[in-house]
Amino acid sequence: MNKKVDKKTLKKGLLPYVFLLIIMLGIFYVFTVMNKVVHTFSYNEFIEKLDGNKIVELHLVPRGSGYIYEVDGSLKDYKENEKFEATLPLSDEVMKKIVSASDDQDFKLTVSPDPESSSLVLILVNVLPIVILVGGAFWFFNKQMAGNRSSFDFGKSRAKLSNDDNQVTFKDVAGLKEEKEEVRELIDFLKNPKKFQKLGARIPKGVLLMGPPGTGKTLLAKAVAGEANVPFYFISGSDFVELFVGVGASRVRDMFQQAKRNAPCLIFIDEIDAVGRQRGTGLGGGHDEREQTLNQLLTEMDGFGANEGIIIIAATNRPDVLDPALLRPGRFDRQVTVNLPDVRGREEILEVHAKNKILADGITLKNLAKRTPGFSGADLENLLNEAALLAVRRDKDEIGMSEIDEATDRVLMGPAKVSHKYSENDRRLVAYHEAGHAVIGLKLSSASDVQKVTIIPRGAAGGYNMMVPSEEKMCSTKTDLLEEITGLLGGRTAEEVTFGEITTGAHNDFEKATKIARAMVTEYGMSDLGPLQFEQQSGSVFLGRDYNKPQHFSNEVANEIDMEMRKIINDCHKHATEIIKKNKDLLKLIAEALLEYETLTKEQIDYLVENGKMPEEDEENLESLSITKLRELAKEKGVKNYSKMNKAELLKELDH
C-alpha cells in the first residue's frame, strides 16, 4: 500500500544529512588546504628554474594596477600537493623570456585579468560586508523594538472589526421572528436616530441574548452586523480575562475608546458569562482580575462618562450566573430570550439548511419538523448534514427517509453499535422492555405518540423509543406529568409481568421519572403538601448545585417530600402494571415484531395494532424486510457468517 509522504516531514528528515554533508566537505577542504606544500621563489630562483627547463605549468595574474605579476605553478619533480609562488616585475623583457620559454619547453601557460580592475568585485569585496553588518544590526534592533511594542500592546483591546466577506443577513436567520424585530430596532436607530429622538425615545444601551446552546444567538448577532452599515466590533468574553490583574480592565477601556472614535457602532460580546459572573462569590474570595474587568465594563456602559451611539449586544446561555448590576436598566436594558424553535420555526430553519441538499420525492420539511421537537437550530443543521453524509456513504444521488431516520437517531443517541453482539436472552429482554414503553404510549391519551421503536443498541442504551408529543404545549398539566412517569415505568413493568424478573436496563427511566416526581412535589405544588415551592431549579453556580443548595424546610417536611415522591412513583407503577396486564397480547405482538424486524416505525406499529400483523414486505426495499428474510437473501448471495449478523450488518453486506 503506497503512502503519501508529507513534504515538511521529508525536509525535516533530510536536513540532518545535508548538514552532515556540508561538515564533511568543509573538513575535506581544510585538510586539502593544510596538506598543500607551497614553495616561495625569488626572482632569480624563478629565472633559474625557467632556464633549467623544470616548469610544467605556469599561471600569471597582474597585480597593483599592472606593475607586478604574481605567478604560481608546478615543477617536474613536484608531487600533486606541491606548487611554487613568485612575484615578478612587469617588464617586456620578463614577458618575452616567459613566452619564449613556453614555446621552447612546451609547458602550460595561462594569464588571468587583474580582479581588482573590476568595479563589481571591488564593491562586493569592500562594500558588501559593511552592508551585511549594518543590515544585521538594524534587523536585530528592530526586532527588539517590535518585542517592546508588543509588550506595550498587551493591554490593547482584542475586539475585531467585522468585514464584508460572507455576510449573514436576516434572511439567513429562520425561526426567530420576534427576536429579529427586537434587534432590527437597533439598526433603525443607527440609520435614522432622529426618528426616535423626535419622541424623546432612548435606544437601549445593551441587548442581552440569552437561551439554550445552539438556538442562534451568535447567528443573530452576525445578522445584525450584516444588516447594519456601521462599524461592528466582535469579541469573546474570555478575551478580556488574563493572568495579570488590570489587563482586562485596560482592554475594556481601549475597546470603548476605539468604539467612540467610530461611533455610531455596535459591539458584540460573545459568552459574556466568562467576564460578567457575580462578584464576591466562591471559596476563598473572588477573582480580582475578572471582577476588575467587570467593574470597568459596568462603568463604561453606564457611568459618569457618556457613550452616545455605542450599542452593546451580548450573548450567553447562563443568564443565572450574571451579576445583577449588569442586568439593570441603563446597561443591558433589553433582554431577549432565544428559545428552542417551535414546529413552524423548525420548518423555516430546515428550509434554510435544505437549500443545497437534494431530498428524495415524498420528503416534506413540514413532517420532518413535526418529528423533531426539542431540536435547536444547530441540531437541525447537523441532522441534515448527517443525512447527506449517510447518502454519500451509501452511494445515493439523493437523501431518502432512511438516511433522515438514521441521522435523527445518530443526533439523539449516537451511532448504532453494529458490532455489539446480543445474546438471544438479552434481545428478548430488550424487546419486551421497549415494547412495554410502546404499549403505555399507545394506551394513554395524554402520552406522546410512538414514532419509532428499536432494539439496536446506541450509546449506553440497548434500545430506545422515540416518542413525540401529539401537540406542543407551553405548559404541562398534572395528568400529563403522571402519564409521562407511567410511560417511563412501562419498560420495567413489562419485564416484571413477562419474566417475573427485573434488569438494570431501566436506570435511565428511573432517573427521569424521579426528577419529574420531585419537581411536582417541590417546585410545581402538585402534591398533598399543597401549592408550596420548597426548592428552586438554580442553586449556587460556584460551589456546586447540591453542596450549597439552600433548604427552606424542616427535616419533617423533607420526610414528607420523600413520602409524596414515593407515592407518585408507586401509583404510576400500579397504573402501568394494570395497562401491561390488560394488553399482554399487544405487548407480545410488538415484542415479537421487534425480535423479527429490530426496528418498527410509526406506520408499522399502527398497522400492527390495527391488523394484528406486519404489513406485506416490499422485496425491493431491503429495510422493510425482516431479519429472517434478510438472512435468506444473504444465504443466496453467499454472505459468510450471515446467521450471526444483526439487521444493520446484513443491510450493509447486501448493499455491497
Give the integer Cα–Cα distance in Å for 174 and 181: 12
Q: Are strands 82-89 and 68-75 parallel, antiparallel or unpaired?
A: antiparallel
Cell numbers of 496, please? 416484571
d(Cα 152, Cα 334) in Å, to the nearest integer?
A: 37
Amino acid identity of residue 9, one-letter, is T
Give the length of the chain: 656
How many alpha carbons fall within 13 Å on the CB side of residue 474? 0
Distance CA 271, CA 292 (A): 18
Residue 235 · residue 201 · CB < 8 Å? no
- Cα separation of 467 and 440, whole Å? 11
Alpha helices in 192-261 (DSSP H): 193-197, 217-227, 247-261
* Structural Rg of the chain based on CA atoms: 43
The Cα-based distances of 242 to 156, 285, 291, 383 in angstroms read 12, 18, 12, 38
**76 CB-near residues (< 8 Å, 6+ apart):** 54, 55, 56
Q: Are the C-beta atoms of 189 and 286 separated by less than 8 Å?
A: no
In the DSSP assignment, the letter for residue 420 is P
Judge whether 347 counts as a catalytic residue.
no
Grid coordinates of 86: 613568485
Of 434, 483, 484, 649, the catalytic one is: 434
Show the cell assigned to 355.
Answer: 437549500
CA quadruple 306, 309, 315, 321: dihedral, nearest 10: 10
399 CB-near residues (< 8 Å, 6+ apart): 357, 358, 359, 360, 363, 384, 387, 388, 391
Q: What contacts 18, CB < 8 A, 6 or more positions away? A: none
Side-chain-side CA neighbours of residue 592 (13 Å): 11
Query: Amino acid identity of 24?
Result: M
Strand partners, 232: 266
Mark out the alpha helices in 444-554 (DSSP H runs): 478-488, 490-499, 507-522
Which three-class secondary structure string do you get for 98-157?
HHHHHHHHCCEEEECCCHHHCHHHHHHHHCHHHHHHHHHHHHHHHHHHHHHHHHHHHHCC
Active site members? 434
